[in-house]
Amino acid sequence: MAEIKQLKDPVSRRRFLAVGGGSTALAAVLAACGDDSGTTSSTSASMGGGGASETAEFGKGDVGILNYALTLEYLETAFYADVVKSGLFKGAELETIRKFGREEAEHVQALTAAVKQLGGKPAAEPKAEFPLESAKSVLELAGTVENLGAAAYLGQAGNIKSPEVLASALAIHSVEGRHAAVLNTLLGESITPDGAFAKPADVKTVLKSVEPFLVG
Amino acid sequence: MSAEQQQHAEQQQTRSEVLAKGALAVGSLYGAAMVGPYVSRALAMSGGGDVGILNFALTLEYLEAKFYEEAKSRAKPSGELKRLLDLIASDEQQHVEALAATVKQLGGKPVMEPQFKFDYSGTAGFLKLAQTLEDTGVSAYNGAAPMIKSKEVLAAAGGIVQVEARHAAAIRLQNKEEPAPVAFDPPLDEKQVLKAVEPFIV
């Protein structure tokens, strides 16, 4: 599981909930997370964690899981767009970042369409801000986000009911794995931080990790 | 919105629908019809189902493990590529062991390791073939996984395919190719995978 590095001035959970109200799915799930200690280890022991109930705040069943994925893809797309705008990168690295951002945007489109096809309501795009202090810190954040994203998909695979939805999720999951390996390479880190078998992450872990970037 | 912008927006909407439909449609269940003789024997030996799928994956992992083990000398790797090869070879060997063990746990019989012959020369030839094998492996797992019945077996397959995707990206970087060429890794069915790998099975 990717290390979650401490960030300066994370938006506190209380402040987020006060501003955002209890109305968004994210706020509701975070309210349900009892632990405020800031620990970030993933509970990867059980297959897929708490089952479909993990993503229930995003919608029932497969729609909930797709909306959870959609929320993460929105965040990744926004992150890469901000990074491109920051001017911190040039040349080949900038091209990689642009390409990954385009792919995340395709994931957003496909997941949105898939939710609608299943008769669900697509999750709203969350408002987010990302720290963009230096190229190095941005690459580290990108590495964290991509490794976490891959683990998030892996964590939900066992909860998906429809084989078609599962096939779609897997088609995205492996691409996030590719992204993660590239970022790890750019950071001089191992392409397989978990070794020969990637580890899943549960919803609670993933949402706690992205919480610092959400703005009310 | 101008007419041009409107048309663009509509094209984007249509494209995203196609993407979703494409991804969802492509995810429909694949039958086991018309697989090649080698996999048929493996499936007959193993009895189909999750064991059959695991044995299919085991065949691919045997292939990759052998390929990378040979490559340590044949590909003449140095520096970063050598370190990458050592990592991948170790991963594939662990995949072989885990899959064989899982087949046994499920009361099945692991397929025997086939004889392989890889036709390439030098580092460039190795990298080209490695890229094909890794991309094929990802697509093979993505194609087979939706048919897996057990959540535990699915979790194992998922943990493996993500690593294969990581390998694929790293090899592509060595080839100075796009590491993630498309936004959705396509699934392949057994017939397509066999077509890709049968040239290497003696």
pTM for this structure? 0.82
- Using the Cβ of B166 and the Cβ atoms of chain A, whether some distance falls under 8 Å is answered with yes
Give me the pLDDT at residue A26, please.
59
For residue A195, which residues of chain B lie inside 8 Å, CB to CB?
91, 94
Partner-chain residue, chosen from A181, A190, A199, that has the shortest CB–CB distance to B169: A181
User: Chain B window 63-102: which residues touch A at a Cβ cutoff of 8 Å?
Assistant: 84, 87, 90-91, 94-95, 98
Give me the pLDDT at residue A118, please.
96
The better pLDDT of the pair B16, B92 is held by B92
| The length of chain B, given as a count of residues | 202
Q: With cut-offs at 50, 70 and 90, classify the pLDDT of residue B194.
A: confident
Which DSSP symbol is given to A153?
Answer: H
User: How many other β-carbons are positioned within 10 Å of the β-carbon of residue B137?
Assistant: 29
Q: How many CB pairs below 8 A link A and B?
A: 190
Residue B3 clears pLDDT 80, i.e. is over it:
no
Average pLDDT on B120-142 reads 96
Per-residue pLDDT of chain A (216 residues; tens, 9 = 90+): 443 443 333 433 333 233 333 335 555 555 554 434 433 334 334 444 556 679 999 999 999 999 999 999 999 999 999 999 999 999 999 999 999 999 999 999 999 999 999 999 999 999 999 999 999 999 999 999 999 999 999 999 999 999 999 999 999 999 999 999 999 999 999 999 999 999 999 999 999 999 999 997
pLDDT tens digits, one per residue of A43-81: 334 444 556 679 999 999 999 999 999 999 999 999 999
For residue A180, which residues of chain B lie inside 8 Å, CB to CB?
166
Q: Are A165 and A173 within 8 A, CB to CB?
A: no
Q: Do B138 and A174 touch (CB under 8 A)?
A: yes
Which secondary-structure segment (H or E) carries A154? Answer: helix A135-156
Q: Do B185 and A192 touch (CB under 8 A)?
A: no
Q: Do B167 and A100 touch (CB under 8 A)?
A: no
Give dist(CA B61, CA B55) in Å, integer.
10
pLDDT over 90, % of chain B: 72
Q: Do B187 and A179 touch (CB under 8 A)?
A: no
Q: Do B27 and A182 touch (CB under 8 A)?
A: no
Q: Which two tokens stand for residue A122?
A: 């697509």
Nearest residue in A to B23, CA atom: A168
- Using the Cβ of A177 and the Cβ atoms of chain B, whether some distance falls under 8 Å is answered with yes
CB-side exposure of B71: number of CA atoms within 13 Å?
Answer: 30
Which DSSP symbol is given to A193?
Answer: T
Give dist(CA B144, CA B141) in Å, integer.
5
Give dist(CA A144, CA B101) in Å, integer.
32
3-class DSSP string for B28-51: CCCCCCCCCHHHHHHHHHHCCHHH
Q: How far is A63 from chain B (nearest CA, A)?
A: 13
Residues 6+ apart with CB under 8 A from A179: A100, A103, A146, A149, A150, B169, B179, B180
Local structure of A22: helix, strand or coil = coil
- Using the Cβ of A109 and the Cβ atoms of chain B, whether some distance falls under 8 Å is answered with yes
Residue B33 clears pLDDT 70, i.e. is over it:
no
Which DSSP symbol is given to B187?
Answer: P
- Using the Cβ of A188 and the Cβ atoms of chain B, whether some distance falls under 8 Å is answered with no
Residues 6+ apart with CB under 8 A from B27: A163, A164, A165, A166, A167, A168, A171, B146, B187
